[in-house]
Amino acid sequence: MAKVAVLGYGTVGSGVVEVLDTNADQVLESAGEKLEVKYILDLRDFPGDKHETQVVHDINIILDDPEIEVICETMGGIEPAFSFEKSALERGKSVCTSNKELVAAHGPELEEIAKKNGASYLFEASVGGGIPVLRTLNDSMKHEKIDSVTGILNGTTNYILTKMDKEGTGFATVLKAAQDKGYAERNPEADIEGYDARRKLAILASLLSGKYVNSEEIYTEGITRISIEDFEYARTLNMAIKLLAICRKNENGVLLNMVAPFLIPYENSLANVNGVFNAISVHGNMLGDVMFYGKGAGKKATASAVVADMIDIIKHRGKHININMKAEPATVVSKDNAVRSFFVRVPSQCKEQALEVFGRDVDEVRNDNVSGEFAFVTGDLSERDFEEKLWKMDSVKGYIRLY
Ligand code: HSE
């Protein structure tokens, strides 16, 4: 029997307890022994809850109990989660977590502490919710030279973009409806500005590089300036608009990371990932392309991934499960030299200027439902050249990169 503690009895934490209760037989079979929740740490009491007697309010009760082997942190945020995880690992207790903010900020450092103390630090649920992508990268694909990871890593923005596309409704209206239904947070900034996706990308990029990628240094654009007119043109182009998180690694291990909306041809599988679903496409030098698809959020899916980590830790009792991440900073380059085409919209009166600046060989995109503007796709340009050209224009209604 293994004794575990759950920190934070909110959505994911209560989900973890539920998975352990509901799938107790399967967990027993997988781990080889029963997993018992000895403590649940929360500021609140839960009178009437099946597990009310396990609720404690002092982290030291858990840290000081030698029976506790695994601590599952589902509180979220940086503090006190960071201090709690660090203290647990320093005492040789293994930690698993869904806390993407903390893993993005301190994951490599916590992994080093785990290693030093013979414990393990696992965080499958921090990227792609229930999708088992990190374990696969760290295990089945560890022998591959992975040179790219491209993901739809945020369910809220994918839901909004899908609704805008299918229903022809504007961003603000769809966001409001999503908030009313509880699909989007009351404070949606982290999702719609791309910050949530870039944290998840930083975790993936750190794993790819074996070092630390600072999420705040990742170039990030959110979806707030995407309009229904953009979707009209996208349909003309046979493309979808998706918020992509991209990491590319060159032969020398140098990374290029970015998060931004992209136009993707319908024939690309990522274009067909709709609603709250997430997908991550990985390219390995021997394996080729592999795509992971599933629920990137939600109580049970996320909790299932946390329980998978717990089981892994128990199966490897006494051993450190090595995660390819060190606290040393990864070498990253800016997006400036990345070359691609761009879709651009300018007011009709700027057409001539656009042709002078971007060249007369741009491909015009027409759509009968949009008037008063000139829309086109550029030839291949570096990001830096594109930006310089944009600055030369008197007015630009919008632009989206082509994938
Ligand atoms: N806000 C996140 C999303 C939740 O929309 O994907 C899961 O990390």
Tokens of 358: 């971007």
Beta strands in 191-254 (DSSP E): 219-220, 239-249
Provide the 8-state DSSP code for 350: G
Contact 304, 296 (CB under 8 A): no
Beta strands in 215-331 (DSSP E): 219-220, 239-249, 255-265, 277-284, 288-295
126 lines ligand 1 (CB under 6 A): no
Contact 234, 166 (CB under 8 A): no
Atom number, ligand 1, closest to the C-alpha of residue 158: 5
What does DSSP say about strands 277-284 and 288-295: parallel, antiparallel, or unpaired?
A: antiparallel
Q: How far, in Å, from the CA of 176 to the mean position of ligand 1? A: 17
Atom number, ligand 1, closest to the C-alpha of residue 156: 5
Tell me the C-alpha distance between 327 and 213, whole Å: 9
Amino acid letter, 36: E
Mutate to test the pocket of ligand 1, among 11, 127, 154 (most ligand atoms within 8 A of CB): 154
Tell me the C-alpha distance between 373 and 349, whole Å: 8
Provide the 8-state DSSP code for 53: G
pLDDT tens, the chain, 403 aa long: 999 999 999 999 999 999 999 999 999 999 999 999 999 999 999 999 999 999 999 999 999 999 999 999 999 999 999 999 999 999 999 999 999 999 999 999 999 999 999 999 999 999 999 999 999 999 999 999 999 999 999 999 999 999 999 999 999 999 999 899 888 889 999 999 999 999 999 999 999 999 999 999 999 999 999 999 999 999 999 999 999 999 999 999 999 999 999 999 999 999 999 999 999 999 999 999 999 999 999 999 999 999 999 999 999 999 999 999 999 999 999 999 999 999 999 999 999 999 999 999 999 999 999 999 999 999 999 999 999 999 999 999 999 999 9
Contact 275, 226 (CB under 8 A): no
pTM above 0.85, yes or no: yes
Q: What is the pLDDT of residue 181?
A: 83
Provide the 8-state DSSP code for 359: -
Closest residue CA from atom 7 of ligand 1:
297
131 lines ligand 1 (CB under 6 A): no
Q: How far, in Å, from the CA of 157 to the mean position of ligand 1? A: 9
Digit-coded pLDDT (tens) for 177-232: 989 988 888 999 999 999 999 999 999 999 999 999 999 999 999 999 999 999 99
Atom number, ligand 1, closest to the C-alpha of residue 185: 1
Tokens of 204: 């993936």
Mutate to test the pocket of ligand 1, among 102, 156, 215 (most ligand atoms within 8 A of CB): 156
155 lines ligand 1 (CB under 6 A): yes
Q: How far, in Å, from the CA of 201 to the mean position of ligand 1? A: 13
Domains recognised in the chain with CATH numbers: 2-130+299-315 (3.40.50.720), 137-294 (3.30.360.10), 335-402 (3.30.70.1150)
